[in-house]
Amino acid sequence: MDRRDFIRGLAATTAIFALPGRGGAVAPVSDPALAAFIRGMPKSEYHVHLEGTLEAEMKFALAKRNGMNLPFADVAAMKASYIYHDLPSFLAIYYDGMKVLQKEPDFYDLAYAYLAKAASQNVIYAEMFFDPQEHLKRGVAMADMIGGITRARGDAEAKLGIRSQLILCFVRDHSAQSAMAALDAALPFKADLVGVGLDSDEAGNPPEKFREHFAKARANGLKVTAHCDVDQTDTLRNIRTVLTDLKVDRIDHGGNIVQSPELVAIAKARGIYFTVCPTFSGTLRRTEKVPVDVVRAMMDAGLKVTISSDDPAYMGSEYVDDVLIRAVERSQLTRAELIAIARNGFEAAWLPETDQSAMLARLDAYVKAA
Ligand code: HPA
Ligand code: ZN
């Protein structure tokens, strides 16, 4: 099965499908008790793009509200178009889809729907990305983006008990000036942000392009993370840059690090957490003769792994529970490893230590009672 077939399968069904690198169909989790344990477990999520949670149904609803026509007959036809085979072909679909986000209530609805879904899966804390440059270029005001998302965060915490924070991502294939303009437009709302990140197409857009942006963000009290998508050109060079030059607080994806014992040692010494998304980036294949399972290899290297859903609306509508359940099978995780990953998920939080400890205590109590 090639990558295209895999993605087509993901778009078409949320039931059994084949995963890359496993050489065939993967059965649903063979241990229902473990699946139930995962579903009930207090969880976190750190690598989820809000625009990547924009489900086809909501796209139609927002298009209607905003008087837009979409070039798809129905939800099924739209989902059937979600066919991609690498990062650029994914991004083309993802950016096209987010054009329906125009006004403050659109961002509210998007964020609230994600938080409700996450809360229903016992996610008690999430840090979510958004890509403002893509919206600014269509004339959307930063106040409407951050305002809508912040309002949804408040309502979701009050009504559903899920706590969350927001990370502004620089879209790395736009100009450095455009990223700086986005940061400047966001700084008046910095109390509603916890950090900045770096996403989109890495080819030709190395992390040092954003050195000044990261420095300015830090000077404004924001944390810093960066995507190092798997199997990108110059991936180890870019991982080194984010670790030793930009000195990020976290790395998103970053699976190729297992190919460099030196970089692994640096990440461990710095206590770096990785936000791994096995649905999209679970296998090293371009840079390895034999495909390597990213989560397994990172766990074996002793790295601090967390697991997230990335862009679930484009990845078979699989949210974090499904992703974790599959990870257990696909990466052959023991129960102890699963719990270690869940604990990492609270230790990695950009929250005061007392809040982290309270969340860890909830997890520990759950595990003890299970
Ligand atoms: N990588 C890079 N850019 C992205 C991603 C990703 O996983 N998701 C949305 N934009
Ligand atoms: Zn991502």
Q: Is residue 363 part of a domain?
A: yes
The pLDDT value given to residue 29: 64
Parent domain of 243: 32-59+101-369
Q: Is residue 12 part of a domain?
A: no
Q: Do the beta carbons of residue 11 and residue 86 sit within 8 Å?
A: no
- Let me know how many helices (H) and strands (E) the chain has, helices first: 17, 10
Residue from 49, 128, 201, 230 whose mutation best tests the ligand 1 pocket (most atoms within 8 A of CB): 49
Q: Is residue 82 part of a domain?
A: no
The answer for residues whose C-beta is within 8 angstroms of residue 165's C-beta and 6 or more apart is 126, 127, 128, 153, 193, 194, 195, 350, 351
**Nearest CA residue ID for atom 4, ligand 1:** 200
Phi, psi of 25 (to 5 degrees): -65, 140
Specify the 3-state DSSP secondary structure of 27.
coil
Nearest-CA neighbor of 46 among 281, 346, 263, 365?
346
281 CA closest ligand 1 atom index: 7
Q: Is residue 73 part of a domain?
A: no
Domain count, the chain: 1
Assign residue 40 the CATH number of its domain: 3.20.20.140
Q: Is residue 87 part of a domain?
A: no
Tell me, in angstroms, the distance from the centre of ligand 2 to residue 356's CA. 23
**Cα distance from N-terminal residue to C-terminal residue, the chain:** 38
10 Å Cβ neighbour count for 59? 21
Residues enclosing ligand 1, CB less than 6 A? 49, 52, 87, 94, 199-200, 227, 229, 280, 310-311
Per-residue 3-state assignment (H helix, E strand, C coil) for 85-143: CCHHHHHHHHHHHHHHCCCHHHHHHHHHHHHHHHHHCCEEEEEEEECHHHHHCCCCCHH
Say how far apart CA 155 and CA 98 lie, in whole Å: 23
Q: Is residue 310 part of a domain?
A: yes
pLDDT tens digits in sequence order for the chain, 370 residues long: 344 333 333 333 322 222 332 233 344 567 899 999 999 999 999 999 999 999 999 999 999 999 999 999 999 999 999 999 999 999 999 999 999 999 999 999 999 999 999 999 999 999 999 999 999 999 999 999 999 999 999 999 999 999 999 999 999 999 999 999 999 999 999 999 999 999 999 999 999 999 999 999 999 999 999 999 999 999 999 999 999 999 999 999 999 999 999 999 999 999 999 999 999 999 999 999 999 999 999 999 999 999 999 999 999 999 999 999 999 999 999 999 999 999 999 999 999 999 999 999 999 999 999 9
Q: Is residue 4 part of a domain?
A: no
Q: Is residue 54 part of a domain?
A: yes
10 Å Cβ neighbour count for 316? 21
